[in-house]
Structure formats: structure tokens, C-alpha cells
Chains A and B, each alone.
Chain A
Amino acid sequence: MASCKAALLISFLMLDGCAALGGAPAPIIPVKDSVGLVSAYKLDEAIKAFRAADDASRGDMTPQEYRDMVVAVYLAAIDARYLEFRRAVSSQGRGGALGADLAVLGLTTGATVINGAATELSAAAAAVAGGKAVVDKNVYFDKALPALLAAMDAERAKARTQIVLNLRKDANAYPLETAFGDIAAYESAASLDRAVDVITTNASEQRATERQRYENAVSACDGEEDVVTQRQRIMKFVSSLVTVGNVAGLDSMAKLMGLAGGSDATTLRTAIRRDIIANYCSTKKLDDLIVAIAAQSWGSSI
């Protein structure tokens, strides 16, 4: 299911296009250099150095300094590759041809920056390279892509924040092995599948909220008479009671209408208004209410 979504959403990468416009300036540090630095700190070797008893094995760095440096190298490599991905996608969005050049992105090489942290990007890009899905380019570039990229950025920021917070801990509390786990999570945060899931979840929550609002909606009563004048008169009176803080008057009016009374002016005003919406849709009924209010000691000013 997840892979299907990724394949569908990334299939825009296969589409033909015209000359591309650049979406961002070219990086000063080539991506291959950033990624190449990682090879000097392979997982097992880096952990071995981190655990070494003497600082000399770490280039005269303490374990914490060494951990911070290794983490920085990996983060830089992951960021470089992600920015390359974004640049390419952005170019495609401006009419570039990318379908044949996925390998350039490093998405189909099968090699993630951190060993074992296979990203959905690779899987999705592979699916595209295999030509498994065809969708309307405009639909996804114009509608979905900005939201997907924003969701990917948000997920990455979340993962990165966690790393930055953890780096405040000493080397015992946040050892390099744990940091590598977080780095893997950071890299996999740039996942189209996850972005789709985030967007879908957010949309579902919004729909649920909206549905709840709709379920709580006041049902308007039957009748299509124009009752603007009568309603305005009553509501103006209600608001005048609120303005002068005549809670007793509001309480009495609510009870006159068959509602529960209360001691909060705003709550009473809302209850009265809702009752009018739901039950007072004819001129006669509203006129009767006005007469009933006017007959009360607190209602003569209506």
C-alpha cells in the first residue's frame, strides 16, 4: 500500500519536459564530496574509534567531540543529497526532463548515506525507473508536490531537532551508536511515503474536525418567511442586556423561552440565539415572543 502511494506520487519524475529552469543555486560543495566524506567514518570504524580508550585514536578528540564531528559529517551528506533531490524536482516542476536522469539524484543507486537506512525514496524512484505508474504531470506538480515537499521538510526538521537536542548530552548519555540510529531516522524522514502519510493523516484529522463541527451544527427550523426585522429586534435587545451586564434579564428571557437559565451572559446569549435559529422562523412566533418579552419588567425596552 505504502509503496503503491510512493510509486504513484513519484511517477511524475518520468515525464517528458522542455528545458529546465534551475530551482536553486548550484551548491558550492559538490554533493559527491559531502557524501564522500562519510566513507572516512564508516559505522563500524567510527564506533570503534568512539569507544577507544585514548583520544589519540580519535585525532585527539574527546568521545563527545568525535561523536559531534561524525554526526555533523553525516548530516551534511544527507542534507546535500536531499537538496540535490529538491533541486531536481524543482527543475522538473518548471518543465525539465528528469525521467532518464534519476540516477543522478542518487535515488536509484541503492546506496543510502547511512548503511542500512534504506529510504522510501530509493524504492519509489526504482518503481518509477521501472515505469510502473503513469499519472497526470500537472496534477501532481501543481497540486501535490508543494504539499509533499513541505511535509518532507517538516518531518526532516522534526528528526533533526531531536538530534540537535540529543547532542547536548554527553557521550555516555548519547553515544555514537544511538546517534547513528537518529541519523538513519533523519535520512528516512525524507520519504515520499511518509510525506503522503502525514498529509493523509492531517487531511483525515481535518475532515474529522469538520465532520464534528457539522454534527454539532444547529438545525435551522422550517419556514422561508423573511423574519430579518423581528430577529434583529430581539437580538439587539439580547445584546443590550449583555452590554449592561443584566444577567438576571438574560436568565429570565432564557427561561421564558423554555431554556435552562444560567449565570453567564455570553452562554445565555448563545443559547437564546441558537433557540431562535432552531425554533423561531415565522413572523407570528417571533412577534409572540416579542410581546411576551415586552410584558416582563426586564423586557419593556425591547
Chain B
Amino acid sequence: MGEVIRYKGALTLIGLQTKMRNDEALELRLTAIDEDGSDTIVSYEDGSVASRSLQLFLDPGSNLEPPAGSVLICRGMARITGSAQKIAVFRKG
């Protein structure tokens, strides 16, 4: 089933990460991130993940390596403080 959730494009990177972690707490697991010109659109599938394990980083070169102990979930685009940015999403643990 999953969900597709729209986040305001004015959010900061940390703000967006917090909101995405909040939504993963509803037994959702992020699968993809994109932007539609005004907002960030994130796709989730049903599933449980460790609390606050999702990490969001700017990834202008689309080649950012995961931090130690994390794995890459996906790369995509997000709207950060109004601008389209390349993003890498990792998961801790």
C-alpha cells in the first residue's frame, strides 16, 4: 500500500529530515524522493524501521558515500528552502 507524502518546499534540510522520520514512525519506510517544482514528494512503502534512522544529506555530485554504519537508500531531488537540490538518503544501522 504505502503512501506518497508531499512536504512543503520551504523546509530546511533538517526540518525535512525530522518530518520524514516522523512519518516513518507510522510504519512506513522511505523508498524514493523527488520534487515537483514546488514541494518535495516522498514515496514510502509499508514497513517498520528503527526510530529516527533516516539521514538526509545534500548530494550535489550524486556520489556521496554513506556515513560509517549507514547504507544508501536512494538518491533523488528535494526542495530545500525553496530550491531544488540533489539529495542522498541513508539509513543508520
Most buried by B among A217, A235, A273, A281: A217
Does A279 lie at the interface of the complex (its beta carbon under 8 Å from any beta carbon of B)? no
* Docked CA distance A116–B73 (Å): 53
* Docked CA distance A239–B26 (Å): 10
Majority secondary structure of chain B interface residues (helix, strand, loop or mixed): mixed
Known: A217-B6, A231-B26, A277-B26. A224 touches B11 (CB 8 A): yes
Number of interface residues of B (CB under 8 A): 24
Residues of B within 8 A of A216 (CB): 4
Identify the closest chain B residue to A233 (Cβ). B25
* Docked CA distance A239–B19 (Å): 21
Number of interface residues of A (CB under 8 A): 26
Known: A232-B25, A276-B26. A219 touches B18 (CB 8 A): no
Selected from A222, A231, A235, A273, the residue in CB contact (under 8 A) with B3 is: A273
Residues of A within 8 A of B51 (CB): 228-229, 232
Residues of A within 8 A of B41 (CB): 214, 217
Identify the closest chain B residue to A211 (Cβ). B36
Shortest beta-carbon distance from B77 to chain A in Å: 12
Give per-residue flags for A13-28: 1 if the beta carbon is below 8 A from chain B beta carbons, else 0: 0000000000000000
- Residue contacts A-B, CB under 8 angstroms, 29 given: A213-B4, A214-B36, A217-B3, A217-B5, A217-B6, A217-B41, A218-B3, A218-B5, A220-B5, A220-B8, A222-B8, A224-B11, A224-B15, A224-B18, A225-B18, A228-B51, A229-B51, A231-B22, A231-B25, A235-B26, A235-B27, A239-B27, A266-B1, A273-B3, A273-B27, A273-B28, A274-B3, A277-B5, A281-B22
